[in-house]
Amino acid sequence: MKLFRLMAVLLVTIAAVPVAAHHSFSAEYDFNKPLKLKGKVTEMKWANPHAWIYIDVAGKDNKVEKWAWETGGANALYRRGWRKEDLVAGTVLVIDGYQARNGSKTANATSITFENGKRLFAGSSSQNSATK
Amino acid sequence: MLLRRQACVLLGLFLISAALISCSRSPASSAGSIPRTADGKPDFSGIWQVRNRAAADLEDHVARHQAPAGKGVVQGGPIPYQPWAAAKKIENARNRATADPLATCYMPGVPRIMYMEFPFQIFQTPDHIAMTFEWSQVHRTIYTNGAPAPDGIDFWMGDSRGRWEGDTLVVDVKNHNDRTWFDLAGNFHSEALHVVERYTMRDVNTIDYEATIDDPKVFTRTWTIKMPLHRQTEADRIFEYQCQAEAEEASGAFEPDPKTWYPGPSVTVQTPAEWKDVQTVWKAPAPKGTIKRMPDGKPDLQGYFMPDGGGGNYGLGKHEQDFLTPEGRGVIVDPPDGTLPMQAWAKAEAESRKAPERGYDDPTAHCFVAGVPRSMYVPSPLQILQPPGYLVILHERMSWRTIPLDGRPHLSDHLRLWQGDSIGRWEGDTLVIETTNLNGKTWLNEVGEIVSHAERVVERLTPIDVDTIHYEATVSDPLVYTRPWTIAFALNRQKDELLEVACHEDNQDLQHLKDIRNEARAKAKGQS
């Protein structure tokens, strides 16, 4: 039920999450390192100016890699109906975006796809932004 | 004539003595002598500060490094900690040099911000009481319009809802996080904290401030602190103390830019006389509908607004999307070609700021305030208040601009501020704001368009219907540009109240940007 509510909120709203960058994403992330990872949510860090989604990804030799994905800010998510507890641990996601230039396991999310194939924008960068 | 004047003086003296006598007899009978707003409420407007040592420790305390001795402000005995929490408080005190959230310039929360050794200014309207603090441009809004607190979200500064009980303002402060302390001594709380503040005006220059603390996770019962707030009668403005910016400048983490920063009184920059003519070529936009007005007939600009900044935060001219940098429709209306008239050196400098290793140099990447006019087009809401004599702009990204409308002169040229010194005046239905005394530390946007300490800004806010303010800003900066230039866009009313953007507190990006800069520097050093 909770996931259903989240999906409903996301479907209606995520595509319009505004850009609220406080720094240059183009400076921080690497155009030459596009990334698509499937993983399980371990935590959502509800923060400004950007929220973070942490996922566990099965890496090489089945070793678990921990990845941090930067998304839109908590205030933008709140205004669109998200609540802190909505993205529950264990939810499986495929996230698209770009890896940080400093080589850490950090990336900027340009879209989030749920297991059922619904593709949703994360809105931390320019894609589908209503307000800039 | 002389007799009449003497009679007036005598009458005045008599009235003052009568007032003094009545004050000394009974505090209740002095109620008539306190300032009141047009709607008859006690008027707390003004600049205030405590004169105690509660910031060091709420309880009686001996002196310690950077914490003078002082009397406690807790009423009726020690703070009633639960046993585990009493132990935690002792641990906090031991580690306070690093564990105190203020040691890393995190927002102090409520009530701590009220008794720090920094002044704050109160602005009062019937629906909102705003407090702007010298410390790091933090602000609070106490809603007195009956609107409910939001649910499911917490803030460093809590959420404040006020009501009047006679002449006392009673404020419920809820929605706290568990990351702030009460003082430098490690007194702390959980996210279950509920503060009830009471503000009562004792006389024209004194507010009796009281805060009752309830936190069932940490204390065995509620407890109360009490202290007077004193009017800062000698101050006509408050300035700034940007905690994190000062810390980073002192440590070298944020480096000075000699091309733009104010170098000190040795340098004076004259704005060319002919530039002034360019600035005055301006035509007020035609209204598109009715506009709201204040009781004095001036336009009512109050409310919550979202700038339609046209991507100005990513380049003021028209530009395409570039990787993760959003496109912009271009908001430059003068010069007519829509480009910034930069001098050659500035073009080269702006180009170099686009490099990834310069991303770290943008002050807003450090969560420092955006400056003028950038604070007006960062993609984040703002609130406008019009208390008597002022226009106040509160930015969701925790900064403020308080703009007096009384025609006072600008500050001395040597006093430079991140948000500058703004003075406003009405020209017809347009509010004209002149901003000087900027420090040259800010960037115009993430792509590094430039302003220097020679920047002066004239902004014009014209309501064109009940939900829209036409905004224009003309920037004159003879160190950077060949002529003044003007941007224009709309501020659109939104229903949502401001939330709070705690930026520095959870800024995970800065370290990445620093790594990129350091790597580039190491590479350049290796090549040289």
Q: Looking at chain B, which residue has its C-alpha nearest residue A85?
A: B152
Domains, in order of start, for chain B: 46-231 (no CATH), 288-496 (2.40.128.20)
A131 falls within a domain: no
Give the β-pairing of B223-231 and B430-436: unpaired
Query: Residues with Cβ < 8 Å from B137, sequence gap 6 or more?
Result: B240, B242, B369, B398, B399, B400, B418, B419
Q: How far is CA B481 from the centre of its chain?
A: 29
A73 falls within a domain: yes
A36 falls within a domain: yes
The domain that holds A96 is classified in CATH as 2.40.50.140
- What pLDDT shows up at residue B471? 98
- Token pair for residue B189? 């709380």
Contact B325 A126 (CB under 8 A): yes
Q: Which amino acid appears at position B384 of this protein?
A: I
Q: Tens of pLDDT along B75-84?
A: 998 999 999 9
Q: Tens of pLDDT along B27-41?
A: 444 445 999 999 999
A81 falls within a domain: yes
Q: Tens of pLDDT along B299-340?
A: 999 999 999 999 999 999 999 999 999 999 999 999 999 999
CA distance A69 to chain B (A): 11
Q: Which amino acid appears at position A116 of this protein?
A: N
A21 falls within a domain: no
Contact B516 A28 (CB under 8 A): yes
Closest by Cβ to A28, choosing from B311, B359, B519: B359
Average pLDDT of chain B, as a whole number: 93
Q: Tens of pLDDT along A3-42?
A: 444 544 444 334 333 345 678 889 999 999 999 999 999 9
A30 falls within a domain: yes
In this predicted complex, what is the ipTM?
0.85
- Token pair for residue B408? 């006072």
- What pLDDT shows up at residue B22? 39
Chain A residues in contact with B325 by the CB 8 A cut-off are: 24-26, 126
A69 falls within a domain: yes
Q: Looking at chain A, which residue has its C-alpha nearest residue B323?
A: A26
Average pLDDT of chain A, as a whole number: 78
Closest by Cβ to B365, choosing from A23, A79, A131: A23
- What pLDDT shows up at residue B21? 38
Contact A27 B501 (CB under 8 A): no
- The residue among A103 and B109 whose pLDDT is bigger is B109
What is the C-alpha separation between A5 and B201, in angstroms, rounded? 48
- What pLDDT shows up at residue B277? 66
Query: Which residue range(s) make up the domain with A53?
Result: 2-15+26-121
Nearest to B322, CA basis, from B311, B333, B331, B307: B311
Chain A residues in contact with B378 by the CB 8 A cut-off are: 22
For residues A69 and B483, the answer to whether their CB atoms sit within 8 Å is no
Chain B residues in contact with A24 by the CB 8 A cut-off are: 324-325, 356, 359, 362, 365, 446-447
What is the C-alpha separation between B33 and A102, in angstroms, rounded? 64
Is A102 within 8 Å of chain B by CB?
yes
Q: Is the pLDDT of residue B11 over 60?
A: no
Q: Is the pLDDT of residue B8 over 50?
A: no
Q: Is the pLDDT of residue B12 over 80?
A: no
A37 falls within a domain: yes
Q: Looking at chain B, which residue has its C-alpha nearest residue A45?
A: B506
Interfacial A residues in 18-77 facing B (CB < 8 Å): 18-29, 31, 45, 47-50, 52, 68, 70, 73-75
Q: Looking at chain A, which residue has its C-alpha nearest residue B152?
A: A83
- How many domains does chain A contain in total? 1
- What pLDDT shows up at residue B274? 87
